[in-house]
Structures are given as structure tokens and as C-alpha cells.
Amino acid sequence: MHSACEWTVNRRQFIKSGLSLAAGVATLGPARTLGENRSEYTRWAFLSDTHVAPDPDNHYRGFYPYRNLQIIAEEIAYNPPDGVVITGDLARMKGETEAYENLKTLLAPVTAQRPVFLGLGNHDDHDNFSRIFGNAPSNGMTVAEKHIAAAVAGPVRLIVLDSLLVDRASGFLGQSQRAWLKALLDASDDRPTILFFHHRPRIDLLDGPRLLEIIKPVAKVKAVVYGHSHKFRFSEYYGIHMINLPATGFNLSSSQPVGWVEARLTEEGGAFTLHALSGNRRMDGSCQRLYWRT
């Protein structure tokens, strides 16, 4: 993986302490990348909308999601980042068990080396997902019927939420998950924090306004990363960066790329590089540099 723009820091060798996990229902792979050294930067791969089907030959709009993820996983594994986050719609249609079996196989080259955090979207199924990936230890931090994870990776904190609302295209966090998030934010240090979930917070997330009420005054929340629209774009909400990831499986418009985003994160901000596998590849290798609000 080669990034078109590097975040300028004086990085030391990989430190030997482990990734600090706060909770992790949807966590795969070893937790031995960056620890809590805030002078480091951390490099991550962000994916969304993999849409892996039970049939590896399933295709849509001329795209083959299984093959796409196979290529991307091998690329990531060749030069592994410190971790991976996938923000939901892991499965193609209704979260079949066989789809998650395929997903697990495809991610194996990465999970053998690095932790992978999986969020759930409207095409996923809680029970089938748990049947294949299991329930990781929660360390006393759980939300009923939701798959959540939180970790400290060097200079930043990552929180993966679950916006799946059964049998609905729209998303919903729910009161319990919002309360869990608020408690975690209140209890955590001032490390820059990035939230991940599937739905667009100001469009598809039914309790998006309530979420934004929680995070708007919390200065340590610097960015929200999501998918669902199969569009790649950056925007802001009161200084909070809103990062809409491209789909890995297929696009819904010929103007959009199909691929993933490489993120280099520091205490000051992040550099986000698009890796466009197919679709509109005009912006392949382009980098967006963002600075965190203060």
C-alpha cells in the first residue's frame, strides 16, 4: 500500500505493547499492534459495504463483491496496517450464515496479522453473524443485542457502534447504546476519538439527532466514519469530520469509486487516501488531509 500523502511525524519503530481493547464483540485477529503511546501515528484500513454473498460468483452492476474483497484483503495483508474497520453491510442481502463464512475466509490473510473490527449494517443479521464470528469478551461493557467495540490505538480511540435496525433500510442506535457511548466518552481521556457505524448520521440514522447532541459538545470526538450510501465524500458538522466511505462491493453510480480508504491518524489529524479498485478510478491515490477540531 502506498499513500499519496504522508502525515508528517517522526515515527519510531513499531512499539511492542498491545492494542488496548475496551470492549470488542466484533473483533477479529491478534491485538498486538500499537498501544497507548500518543507520540506515534497509527495506520488503519477503513472499508464499508463489502456485500459478500453465499455464492462467490454473485455479481451486481458488473461488480463481483467476493472477488473485490479477496483482492483488497490480499493487498492489505501484503503491507498490513495497524488494524482494519469495516462499517457494515458485510453481507450481500440478508446476512446469511454462508455469507459470513465466506467473509471470514476472505479476511483470514488480514486477521492472521492484525485486529479487524466489524460493524453491522441493514443487510446484516445479528444471530448469523454471531454464529460464525462468535461473541468476544465484553469486559463488562455490553449493550443488549448490539455488536460494539472500542479500542485505543496509539494517539487515537476508535469506537465501533451498531446501527442495524432489523428489517429496515434505515438505522438506529437506541437509547441503551447511546447511553453506553456517553458513559464511555465521559470516562475516557482526551485522546482524539473516532466513531464508526454503518448509516449516515444526518440522513439514514433515525436517532442521528440524538447522537449528534451527545457528541457535538464533546471536543475529543473528532470524526464519524460510515458507509451505506456507496459514496465517497467528506463533510463537517460543527467541526466534526463526517467521512462517508466508498463501497468495497459495488457502486450505485458510475461516478463513484469502488475500494477502500487508508488512514494515517495522529493527535492533530489524519490523512485519508483512497484506494480505488474499480468503478470511477479518477481519484485513486488521492489524499484528503484533515485537522481535528480543538
CB 232, CB 245: distance < 8 Å: yes
pLDDT tens for the chain, 294 residues long, are: 444 466 544 333 333 334 554 443 345 665 444 566 777 899 999 999 999 999 999 999 999 999 999 999 999 999 999 999 999 999 999 999 999 999 999 999 999 999 999 999 999 999 999 999 986 544 455 788 899 999 999 999 999 999 999 889 999 999 999 999 999 999 999 999 999 999 999 999 999 999 999 999 999 999 999 999 999 999 999 999 999 999 999 999 999 999 999 999 999 999 999 999 999 999 999 999 999 999
**Model confidence pLDDT, tens digit, residues 13-44:** 333 334 554 443 345 665 444 566 777 899 99
- How many CB atoms are located within 10 Å of the residue 80 CB? 18
**Is the model's pTM score more than 0.85?**
yes
Under CATH, which number does the domain 20-291 receive? Answer: 3.60.21.10
d(C-alpha 272, C-alpha 215), whole Å: 22
* Helix 97-111 × helix 65-78 angle, to 10°: 20
Cα–Cα distance for residue pair 192/222, rounded to 1 Å: 6
| Residue at grid coordinates 485486529 | 115
- Regarding beta strands 221-226 and 233-237, do their DSSP bridges make them parallel or antiparallel, or are they unpaired? unpaired
Domain ranges of the chain: 20-291
Q: How far apart are CA 134 and CA 85, in angstroms?
A: 17
